[in-house]
Structure 1
Amino acid sequence: MAVIVAVEDDPDVHQLLRLILENAGHEVHMATEALVGLDLVAEHGPGLAILDVSLPGGVDGVEACTRLRAHGAHADLPVLMLTARAREEDQRRGMAAGASDYLVKPFDIVELLGRVEKLLG
């Protein structure tokens, strides 16, 4: 079991993501805004962060990833970008911000869990 912080603003994906990860045995802390997600990372010290790119509140998932990378305690935290933004430019932007992996929605549950387990090591 690992602790995972996931930031997803779509209510249906939010609920589905929590269900998938909890059924896989993980402790999951969810947020709908990036700044709340960053607070959860600081509070729970997860083994993985999952970030949507498009988020409300003025800070998107790419900026949240950049902030994690800039913070010494979380600089090496694996980050999975989980987003509907499928353009190559979007993927490059996410990876340049320090994302460990990039998965496009809609996603396959088996693929999601495989990537999560790989990132958790």
Structure 2
Amino acid sequence: MNTRIAISALICLAFLILSWQAPAQNFYKIKGEIYDSWQICRTRPDGIDGYFQVTEEGFRPIIIFESLASNTNIAHKLGQEFRERYSDFYQRAEKIYLFARNQIRYTQDLDQFGYREFAQNADEIARE
């Protein structure tokens, strides 16, 4: 189970590491909120249509599943490299954290998009 979580995290991490905003699909505005073509609200995490689908029943980060999978092979290869280099789960987690900390450039959503929150899916932030 921990290996699956680590590999899933690595896949997401690889998309983030290659970060640069790629052209997005169609967006539209309803009552001040921005939605994508999958009818997911990009400016709000809560609710059944929020990008994290935070409800009383639980949490389902739907934005993670919005992907055309164009970088899946890169993410898988990166995950395998970490797994081969660091057999100890905790050491591997620490190395992944350090890799992400040193490679990801963070930009505030307000500065970049003009909204306090604006979620992007993996393909939108992955370099072509």
The TM-score normalised by the length of structure 1 is 0.23
Greater strand fraction, Structure 1 or Structure 2: 1
The TM-score normalised by the length of structure 2 is 0.22
Structure with higher Rg: it is: 2
Q: Which has the higher contact order (CA 8 A, sep 6+)?
A: 2
